[in-house]
Amino acid sequence: MRMPVFKLYFSVTLLSLSLYFFSGCTAVSTESTLMKDLEGVKMTSTELRIRLNEFGKYFAGTIEETADEIIKGTDNVEVKRNALEWKINVIPQALASLVIMDPVAAGTDFYALCLQMDHFFRLGNGKNLFEEQQQLALNANENILNEFRKVADDFRDYKDRDEIERFLAVWVIQNPIKNLKFNRKSTLDLMAQALGSEEYGLGSTVGSMAEGIHDLRRQVTIYTDFLPKHVKWQLEYELYNLMGDSTFENTFNNIDRVVYSTERITKVLEESPELLKELQKSTMAEVNKQLLITLSTLANERAIVLDAITAERVAIMQDIYQQRIETLDRIDTLAQSTINQSTLFAGDVIDKIFWRLLIVLGIVFIGGIIAIKLYRRKT
């Protein structure tokens, strides 16, 4: 009799676990770890993450446009180099803030970076890096901060975040950016304890997996769009360091000088056909040589950019694959642990039911005997 009861109880247990599991998958929490401790929140975790990713693209575009405007507006090679180094180093720092797991932590660190950058160019070591075009950088910083505060207002009213605003103002002064390398202290260590205490169950892990994969795709897309530009800027920066100007500009300037010299010689030697012919040949040979140098340079730089993009994409795809493998391993471990615990619990319950049933049968049997004896005495 014990085996049919065991099968029935085990089936009921599996059905209950299945309902719990799939309900956990569909009911993904709308709050992150840090959101649960905040008051006045007006966004879900997913909405905040999307807004931050969009702001990251605005941040990168604003920095790029401002740096290019500074480069075009000056003949000072040092200022051009500084503008290149600015956009080369600060945009990866912003992308690093975006990939923080908790969107509240990501937004806080992103905002701290914006404040640090503004302090660096307004009052810190970077206040004279762009000379007469310094105001362009200050205007860009102001626009970035204004746009970020719009996102912050949609997330929480100012009165609800006044305390963190004042704290970050002091923190930025205590942790300034010192140079254009933009090596900075992150705010993540201030929130590490809260983020590290997050507990994940089997249902919540699987339920948030799809959301995490979509978020990872958005981040990879942003990074892939930025990567070719970053490689190109690095090449330009190294050329400025080696030659003081771009190889392309030097090459085309050489061609212009050759053409100008040819025109002047033509006017002087109009009556010397033979000599003119020789000069024309030598001039065309020089022009062809310069064009070959230019084409070779373009081909080499294109190959370098393509190799760098390919290597980065391979690394990204390997990282995504590894994260999926780790997630699936974690799910298997949690599922096995849950099934083992359920099996042990089911065995204990069945044993208790069996002994209680045995006691009841004993009581019924003894009661029957007593009833029979009483009946016989009466008869």
| pLDDT single digits (tens) 68-101 | 999 999 999 899 999 999 999 999 999 888 888 8
Strand, helix or coil at 101?
coil
The set of residues, in sequence order, having a beta carbon less than 8 Å from that of 23 and lying 6+ positions away, is 203
Q: What is the mean pLDDT of residues 12-29?
A: 39
The set of residues, in sequence order, having a beta carbon less than 8 Å from that of 9 and lying 6+ positions away, is 346, 349, 350
| Residue 226 confidence class, pLDDT cut points 50, 70, 90 | low
Lowest mean pLDDT among 64-78, 229-243, 302-316, 362-376: 229-243
Residue of higher predicted confidence among 216 and 365: 365
- Answer whether 323's CB lies under 8 Å from 208's CB: no
Q: State the pLDDT at residue 288.
A: 78
Whether the per-residue pLDDT at 205 is higher than 80: the answer is no
Whether the per-residue pLDDT at 21 is higher than 50: the answer is no
Q: What is the C-alpha to C-alpha distance for residues 88 and 93, in angstroms, rounded to an integer? A: 10
Letter string b/e over residues 230-244, b meaning 16 or more CB atoms within 10 A of that residue's CB: bbebbbbbebbeeee
Whether the per-residue pLDDT at 112 is higher than 80: the answer is yes
Question: Which token pair is 10?
Answer: 């085990």
Amino acid 176 reads P
Full 3-state SS string of 215-243: HHHHHHHHHHHHHHHHHHHHHHHHHHHHH
The set of residues, in sequence order, having a beta carbon less than 8 Å from that of 143 and lying 6+ positions away, is 62
Question: Which residue's entry shows tokens 């040949």?
Answer: 281
**Alpha carbons within 13 A on the beta-carbon side of 8:** 7
Whether the per-residue pLDDT at 259 is higher than 70: the answer is no
CA torsion sign for 189, 175, 234, 238 is negative
Q: State the pLDDT at residue 177.
A: 94
Q: Where are the domains of the chain?
A: 39-195
Q: What is the mean pLDDT of residues 9-25?
A: 38
Q: What is the mean pLDDT of residues 307-313?
A: 81
Q: State the pLDDT at residue 247.
A: 47
Letter string b/e over residues 102-140, b meaning 16 or more CB atoms within 10 A of that residue's CB: bbbbbbbbbbbbbbbbbbbbeebebeebbeebbebbeeb
Q: State the pLDDT at residue 5.
A: 41
* Average pLDDT along the chain: 76
Q: What is the C-alpha to C-alpha distance for residues 57 and 91, in angstroms, rounded to an integer? A: 10
Q: What is the C-alpha to C-alpha distance for residues 10 and 4, in angstroms, rounded to an integer? A: 10
Most confident of 145-154, 240-249, 313-322, 356-365: 145-154
Question: Which token pair is 120?
Answer: 């660096």
| Residue 350 confidence class, pLDDT cut points 50, 70, 90 | confident
Q: For the chain, what percent of residues have pLDDT higher than 70?
A: 69
- Answer whether 104's CB lies under 8 Å from 48's CB: yes
Question: Which residue's entry shows tokens 């719009």?
Answer: 150
- Answer whether 49's CB lies under 8 Å from 215's CB: yes
Neighbours of 87 (CB within 10 A): 24
Lowest mean pLDDT among 83-92, 108-117, 241-250: 241-250
Query: Each residue of 268-289: pLDDT tens digit?
Result: 555 556 665 676 777 777 777 7
| Residue 267 confidence class, pLDDT cut points 50, 70, 90 | low
Q: What is the mean pLDDT of residues 99-116?
A: 91
Q: State the pLDDT at residue 17.
A: 37
Q: What is the C-alpha to C-alpha distance for residues 262 and 290, in angstroms, rounded to an integer? A: 15
Strand, helix or coil at 156?
coil
- Answer whether 62's CB lies under 8 Å from 143's CB: yes
| Residue 128 confidence class, pLDDT cut points 50, 70, 90 | very high
pTM above the 0.85 mark?
no
Whether the per-residue pLDDT at 185 is higher than 50: the answer is yes
Most confident of 221-230, 234-243, 252-261: 234-243
- Answer whether 231's CB lies under 8 Å from 308's CB: yes
